[in-house]
């Protein structure tokens, strides 16, 4: 099976090649520190060797639990926010058919990632006459968005099935020993999986946080892990810098950042990758964006967004660069027919595959953007499959950690995320926030 490939040749008109390779020594030191767990934020480095250390019994437990829950319910609601839902959704959306005619499939729904009353109301109405089950993901059990959703949906579940049957329809993924959700799960008798202490939310796709929902959607988690393991082996400290795609990508981003390129746009020409880009945005945004530093991560879905943001990318401020996820082989084949009238003037494409047109659109876009002053990085993906998605997950995780160290920030904390919560709790007059309530009311 093929491995993802990295092409940075189209940044060299903007950055000297030597600068990329001049970071070899410092990046090698960072990779070694990651492996030795001596780097900044070392208490959250469990993701680094996760693919090679995943226990086969744990994988079987996830698969067996998935099989049992799928027999109980056609609709499974995954409750979580941030890394507790984005990773799983990004993989499921990438692998799922655009239009699924299978009425017996397991439908994966999501809650707890917003505080929209309309969203929750419509979700409750949707499942009114349907069989459903819950997978709640939270280390603490007190994060506002998922805790609210879980309270509402647990009440609905218990009303429908009774408390005794409901406990078989709830799976909790939480801390091993502490927290409100862990306490509730123990009290109620829910099946639980553990969120490892040494793995943060945005790096948790290859833990039960991501693997259980992916298995529930019907996909082979063993192949995902196998793909991630391939990149773990190909990016460790034994690999020469010249052959380490995570190291080179991180170095390229760093040099572009130093040259004034403050925005990275992740582009794709395959709509299935839209939510993968959302996961990527969280990964890099929360990991790098602190201490007044970091590349701003954005994403576009081409060719759709060529008719909107494409104008800005082509001729707007030259403070951005582009990373393209380039798909080599789609899963289907469609040839363009000839038309006798040819009123749309498309007969010059007759006989060609749709994918050939899409690839030429991709190549033409990349060339236009480079000519317009936008450095371009390309990541080649042979196909969209469990194996290739596993590769991409680990590749970006490793590159993200290195990138954070290059700008001297801790890639594994997110202190800024807590600021909105403090204000929200103060405005809601949560017990313990009396002083903050008084201060924020003065501001208003």
The residues annotated with a catalytic role in the active site are: 286, 307, 421
Q: How far apart are the first and last CA of the chain?
A: 59
B/e letters for 389-409, b = 16+ CB within 10 Å, e = fewer, are bbbbbbbbbbbbbbbbbbbeb
Q: Is 73 helix (H, G, I), strand (E, B) or coil?
A: coil
Cα–Cα distance measured from residue 327 to residue 198, given in angstroms and rounded to the nearest whole number: 33
Residue-wise burial string across 307-330, b where 16 or more C-beta atoms lie within 10 A, e elsewhere: eebbeebeeeeeebbbbbbbbeeb
CB 334 within 8 A of CB 358: no
H-helix or E-strand containing 70? helix 56-72
DSSP letters for 97-126: -SS---TTSPEEEEESS---HHHHHHHHHH
Beta carbons within 8 Å of 74's beta carbon, 6+ residues apart: 104, 105, 106, 107, 130, 131, 132
Find out whether 348 and 294 touch, Cβ atoms under 8 Å. Answer: no
What three-state secondary structure class fits 188? helix
DSSP element (H, E) containing 405: helix 386-406
Question: Distance (Å, rounded) from C-alpha 200 to C-alpha 214?
Answer: 19
């Amino acid at each position: 099976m093929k491995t993802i490939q990295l092409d940075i040749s189209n940044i060299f008109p903007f950055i000297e090649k030597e600068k990329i390779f001049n970071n070899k020594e410092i990046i090698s030191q960072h990779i070694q520190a990651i492996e030795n767990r001596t780097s900044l934020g070392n208490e959250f480095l469990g993701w680094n060797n996760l693919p090679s250390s995943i226990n086969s019994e744990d994988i079987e437990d996830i698969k067996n639990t998935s099989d049992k829950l799928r027999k109980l319910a056609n609709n499974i609601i995954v409750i979580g926010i941030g890394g507790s839902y984005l990773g799983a959704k990004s993989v499921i959306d990438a692998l799922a058919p655009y239009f699924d005619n299978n009425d017996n499939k397991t439908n994966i729904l999501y809650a707890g990632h917003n505080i929209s009353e309309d969203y929750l109301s419509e979700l409750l109405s949707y499942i009114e006459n349907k069989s459903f089950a819950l997978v709640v993901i939270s280390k603490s059990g007190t994060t506002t968005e998922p805790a609210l959703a879980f309270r509402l949906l647990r009440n609905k579940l218990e009303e429908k099935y009774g408390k005794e049957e409901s406990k078989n329809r709830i799976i909790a993924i939480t801390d091993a020993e502490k927290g409100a959700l862990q306490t509730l799960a123990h009290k109620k008798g829910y099946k639980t999986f553990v969120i490892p202490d040494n793995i943060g939310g945005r790096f948790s796709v290859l833990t039960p946080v991501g693997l259980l929902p992916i298995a529930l959607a019907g996909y082979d988690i063993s192949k995902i892990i196998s793909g991630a393991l391939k990149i773990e082996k190909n990016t460790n400290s034994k690999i020469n810098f010249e052959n380490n795609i995570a190291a080179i990508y991180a170095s390229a981003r760093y040099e572009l950042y130093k040259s004034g390129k403050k925005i990275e746009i992740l582009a794709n020409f395959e709509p299935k990758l839209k939510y993968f880009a959302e996961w990527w945005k969280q990964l890099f945004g929360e990991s790098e964006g602190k201490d007044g530093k970091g590349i701003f991560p954005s994403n576009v879905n081409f060719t759709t967004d060529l008719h909107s943001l494409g104008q800005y990318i082509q001729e707007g401020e030259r403070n951005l660069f582009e990373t393209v996820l380039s798909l080599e082989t789609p899963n289907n084949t469609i040839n363009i027919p000839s038309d006798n009238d040819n009123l749309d003037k498309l007969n010059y494409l007759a006989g060609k595959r749709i994918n050939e047109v899409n690839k030429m659109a991709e190549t033409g876009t990349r060339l236009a953007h480079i000519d317009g002053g936008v450095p371009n990085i390309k990541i080649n993906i042979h196909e969209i499959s469990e194996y290739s998605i596993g590769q991409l997950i680990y590749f970006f995780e490793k590159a993200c950690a290195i990138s954070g160290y290059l700008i001297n920030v801790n890639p594994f904390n997110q202190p800024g995320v807590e600021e909105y919560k403090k204000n929200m709790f103060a405005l809601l007059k949560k017990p313990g926030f009396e002083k903050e309530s008084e201060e924020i009311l003065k501001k208003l």
